[in-house]
Structure 1
């Protein structure tokens, strides 16, 4: 049970992180907020923490009791009855869970009974107690004293239920007027004053019997709202929607000065606030947007709608750059005051921000403690999507590889390279004009750190002409043709891989699959013992990760090739922590169907079983028989795979590609891939619609493959 000490400690964020940390370890986790809570910003509606968990995860938490129900029972001296109802709802709603994260009430002006009820709930549910606090404007010594007071109100340190504390928002900016919420214009300023650091807090608690289970540094990125959230708060009129729903606001700038004195504030993520009759600011902001600067939003005050001539001048910028523009009736001073009441809590529908918070908090919670909770259950583990993504990151870090990205001047690729380097996933090499890459990075607000190298193809291209001719001499490749082919950065990157200067290659954000794979087949070749190159997708289903192959490379494999694909896919599953139960998919199950297509699958199954008797491979199986236990019982009752398959091998490219896209789009799930199998060195393709996160995880896959080939 997470028990918050004080208001504004971020207990909801910590709850989200705890759930994610459990999921990463394959734990069947649930969440329960016994009593709903209102505050200054939220007086009604669904319980917020429960709603966020329900929207952002696959968990179905029990409903909370309404605050007025709890308050009426408490005032009527029916606390025991209330606790009995809470226990009943907990038991009904969390029966199959291994660990349940219970979020306690936040003590504030509207819930003076919070501490009493929290202690009662912890005892009633026999829950371990973890206090959640934040330094605020307290010194480390004051924080420790505040913690001691809280412990005493829960029976003292001798209470065996008290197992530790999580300290959130360490190093957050402070404000004397409202220490739990810094001024909006400064909250994203990394130079704003703060009270405590992680080291100071850890040193203060080092001699305390209270175990620190998490010390979470302040991260301003996690509170960056969407332009949409601010527009809703202000009830603004939208002049240009643009990327209103996705643009993040990094800081606020009031444009009261002349343009030359304002230009330095026209940065990615900035909310520019100006009077609606300041045409010079509007035009300048649009010009900056046309130059690639992703300004967060333009907020016009005073009710002055821009003149038609000004909007006509800015029309192309507004239509093509995604710059949101909104209008409110208050003047700039009044607007500044209204901004102070902006709710910085995570909106329940902001899935991207929730995901960031979950991953960040989970990464700062004691891993050994989480593993000890997970190890107490003997239930077999299913590799959930969060667990798989976390595992990818950890395995890539351990591999410590260098990956070349030929599409070095593509904005998504630049962002992914920077993030992958900052997380320690891989060192990235961007191919492209250094000045152009630096310009795009600046426009996107991306800092390229030490883990990112930029190489100019014009400078390095010539050194690969000779080696390329040597590799392709049997094909009669001449220097003239080699130079021409090396104009393609994918070919250049592939040569770098062939020469051992990098460990893997990722491309496809702007190139086709053929453009990415053809040079690799010509210059890298297949791995020793591999008869063909195939591909798999990792399908991140709601409760586990499945593997689909081959959905990208081989149009109509023979039975022998299909057997190879099955074995390659099973080995890939093992390499990434998925227990391989291979289903050879067809339109018929067992011996019920006839025809050349099903005969091919039947023969491929037999070949794969003979070559690798150590693997669980069965087929032909229809998809429903492979994935649904109740169907498997009637169609393939003796199959070791049916109903619980984790690897699906499709009979041809048409079936595989159609199925993967149908499942991906219909279920709105994430797929990672295609990952190529059978190459001597790892080369992986991206979808041209790939998101930044897709590229990051593909970089991680590539780094892991490179590590496994060593």
Structure 2
């Protein structure tokens, strides 16, 4: 039987979706084959939360196999007095799913499909969820409001359900959960970025026409509403960060003034809503366009009174269309719930098989547990800003962004991202610049670097960031989204240098296959290492693998296995293998060995039957950059593997390079890896 947790929300709008998302995220780090189940789903369309979870995570089953019945089917059965048949159908569907899973997260029903609990012939929510939890063999995780923890615990235990913990969600500041219960009680505060609807949700609810604004503008959080009916100075006094201005479409003065205030940084607005079906004057639109606000403008047919009333009833939802809200929800869950204790209580045994999602989520978890301070030199780049928001919301690392703070903040306002938790530094005006110049001139004096030249060099964001790391003002650096690999790592070679005893810095890629994680090195730095350098690369790669939970079994790759071939290239690999064995007798290493013999047990049984590495290698060391770079890209594209890296190794302090095509997710992973390196 799969381990099973039943998440039951007690009371309206307690934020059960945040808890469900957090629990699935938590389990995704531990086990493969997770299932998600909802006893009831709406009859009128897809369930938003179930859709989100089945799209976000590689679950054991899709949407169609992950629910019991629709609310319409349930109501019909209850109306006919067939209560036990309803339970039987749901349990049967659950058992079908459970057989395919190692762990199942059940998200209880709240009957919010247009009816209150217990209405329209439907069973009462509490008893229904308690009964199903018992039938499923699930432990229960109640989700309550600020004051409901004690009542929830006793209500479920009185119905013979096993309560594993209680989570109070959306708790106001200053309110503490009750003590004295025999299970943990965790409190998550109200998080505006989770509770607030997005501009897109407001537009949909108001049936608005979107006049201006792309995806980024529609993804902004709406934290408040301000009705524009007074003169410009009065309205400006009432604008607050995150507010959406609601005003008649013919008030061009307010539209221009509010847009100018947003562009100037006086306030960060969510968007503009124009009432009465009035589209803005084209002359005002031309002025606003020149301000480059990045704001969405919506036009609605209703007047201001009806519009504000309708807007106040809009409830935010977690969905695939709200990625920033998802990260904020996960950040709140991970910050305020003891995830290690919850994992223990759920009795989840970590899987021996490591999936890509497990590996990536484990990176975030490990970085959060030993939080470090990293510097990101490319502070005005959109991908960096979006990654920064997520990293800060998830608590992955403390961050410094380099660049003109005014320009960084302007870009953040345009994109609608929140980076208030990041430190912003302009190398050109920083108080550290003179000190860095002196340090750099001293370190490079043997290369003829003068103090004047050093003063110019450290103004470069990559050199400045590297000097921050060398001076202990940051624990690591990640760059390369807009810079070449050479521009990113050259300062590290000059300033940070390699670990004593390691002759060469190198890199690895983590290759995330469907059922395992492999380490490939060196695929990005050293064109043609000699035997000694190849041995250093192998030892560094093994250490990197071990640091990230991968048992190192090292394959020194060649076109020959064992003594089957000859030539200078084979001899280099053989000599490097001998050096590795001499320096690390405890490390399983095999070489020269061909790739098929290293990874395929059947081939290994024929070519090297007595090898401790053949057929089960985890670390693959390539003889040169040409082979390594082409191989990792071939596996990435042909086998559908996710390549995380390059991850630099052998440096005294971590500096990592991004591909210039890096996605936001790539940046987040690389920052997490760098933070882990800094803490190890």
What TM-score, normalized by structure 1, do the two folds share?
A: 0.78
CA offsets 1:299-350 (integer angstroms, 9 cap, x no match) = 2222222333333444445xx6543223222222222233244342223443
Distance 1:146 1:128 in 2: 14
Distance 1:28-1:386 versus aligned 2 partners, 3 A rule:
closer
Deviates more, 1:289-298 or 1:60-69: 289-298
Distance 1:22-1:423 versus aligned 2 partners, 3 A rule:
closer
Distance 1:311 1:621 in 2: 67
Distance 1:525 1:365 in 2: 40
Distance 2:128 2:181 in 1: 26
Matches within 5 A, 1:680-699: 680-688=652-660, 698-699=670-671
Matches within 5 A, 1:500-511: 500-511=472-483
Alignment pair present for 1:64 and 2:67: yes
8 Å CA contact 2:246–2:308 kept in 1: the answer is no
Aligned with 1:104 (options 94, 105, 108): 108
- Which residue is equivalent to 1:308? 282
Distance 1:476-1:143 versus aligned 2 partners, 3 A rule:
closer
Matches within 5 A, 1:265-276: 269-276=242-249
Distance 1:534 1:434 in 2: 34
- Which residue is equivalent to 2:255? 282
Deviation of residue 707 (structure 1)? 3.5
8 Å CA contact 1:5–1:150 kept in 2: the answer is no
SS in 2 for 1:66: strand
Deviates more, 1:415-424 or 1:560-569: 415-424
Distance 1:131 1:164 in 2: 7
8 Å CA contact 2:526–2:625 kept in 1: the answer is yes
- Which residue is equivalent to 1:30? 34
Deviation of residue 516 (structure 1)? 2.0
SS in 2 for 1:506: strand
Structure 1, unmatched stretches of 5+, are 172-195
Distance 1:342 1:703 in 2: 39
8 Å CA contact 2:553–2:589 kept in 1: the answer is yes
CA offsets 1:663-691 (integer angstroms, 9 cap, x no match) = 77899987654331111222223345656
8 Å CA contact 2:541–2:619 kept in 1: the answer is yes
SS in 2 for 1:169: strand
- Which residue is equivalent to 2:317? 345
Deviation of residue 604 (structure 1)? 5.7
8 Å CA contact 1:294–1:323 kept in 2: the answer is no
Distance 1:286-1:500 versus aligned 2 partners, 3 A rule:
closer
Aligned with 1:514 (options 486, 503, 507): 486
8 Å CA contact 2:330–2:394 kept in 1: the answer is no
8 Å CA contact 2:194–2:329 kept in 1: the answer is yes
8 Å CA contact 2:35–2:101 kept in 1: the answer is no
- Which residue is equivalent to 1:259? 232
Deviation of residue 145 (structure 1)? 4.2
Distance 1:378-1:415 versus aligned 2 partners, 3 A rule:
closer
8 Å CA contact 1:58–1:542 kept in 2: the answer is no
Deviates more, 1:217-226 or 1:519-528: 217-226
SS in 1 for 2:180: coil
Deviation of residue 55 (structure 1)? 0.8
Alignment pair present for 1:163 and 2:164: yes
Distance 1:485 1:250 in 2: 43
CA offsets 1:543-600 (integer angstroms, 9 cap, x no match) = 6655443333223444554443233122112112233344566789889999987887
Matches within 5 A, 1:55-454: 55-61=55-61, 62-67=65-70, 68-95=72-99, 97-106=101-110, 108=117, 109=119, 111-135=122-146, 140=147, 144-145=150-151, 148-152=154-158, 154-155=159-160, 161-171=162-172, 197-199=174-176, 201=177, 204=178, 206-209=179-182, 211-242=183-214, 243-263=216-236, 269-288=242-261, 290-291=263-264, 295-317=269-291, 322-373=294-345, 377=349, 379-380=351-352, 382=354, 385=357, 388-395=360-367, 397-398=369-370, 401-407=372-378, 426-429=397-400, 446=418, 448=420, 452=423, 454=425
Distance 1:334 1:629 in 2: 70
Distance 1:95-1:492 versus aligned 2 partners, 3 A rule:
same
Alignment pair present for 1:529 and 2:535: no
CA offsets 1:583-642 (integer angstroms, 9 cap, x no match) = 566789889999987887677667656654534445777878877889989999887667
Distance 2:249 2:608 in 1: 70
8 Å CA contact 2:570–2:592 kept in 1: the answer is yes
- Which residue is equivalent to 1:53? 53
Distance 1:55-1:436 versus aligned 2 partners, 3 A rule:
closer
8 Å CA contact 2:165–2:184 kept in 1: the answer is yes
What TM-score, normalized by structure 2, do the two folds share?
A: 0.81
CA offsets 1:433-463 (integer angstroms, 9 cap, x no match) = 66766777788675756x8475764443333
SS in 2 for 1:124: helix
CA offsets 1:55-83 (integer angstroms, 9 cap, x no match) = 11111344312223334444445444444
Distance 1:473-1:254 versus aligned 2 partners, 3 A rule:
same
8 Å CA contact 2:7–2:140 kept in 1: the answer is yes
SS in 2 for 1:262: helix
Deviation of residue 649 (structure 1)? 4.2
Distance 1:696 1:233 in 2: 33
Deviation of residue 100 (structure 1)? 1.9
SS in 2 for 1:65: strand
- Which residue is equivalent to 1:16? 21
8 Å CA contact 1:31–1:100 kept in 2: the answer is yes
Deviation of residue 376 (structure 1)? 5.8
Distance 1:3-1:490 versus aligned 2 partners, 3 A rule:
closer
Structure 2, unmatched stretches of 5+, are 1-5, 112-116
Deviation of residue 274 (structure 1)? 2.3
Distance 1:526-1:84 versus aligned 2 partners, 3 A rule:
same
Deviation of residue 14 (structure 1)? 1.6
CA offsets 1:264-319 (integer angstroms, 9 cap, x no match) = 566664333222222223333444565467643332222222333333444445xx
8 Å CA contact 1:20–1:362 kept in 2: the answer is no
Distance 1:328-1:433 versus aligned 2 partners, 3 A rule:
closer
8 Å CA contact 1:253–1:272 kept in 2: the answer is yes
Distance 1:50 1:642 in 2: 43
CA offsets 1:647-672 (integer angstroms, 9 cap, x no match) = 45455445555665677789998765
Deviation of residue 91 (structure 1)? 3.2
Deviation of residue 469 (structure 1)? 2.9
CA offsets 1:90-124 (integer angstroms, 9 cap, x no match) = 33323353332222222523543444432332232
Distance 2:348 2:382 in 1: 45
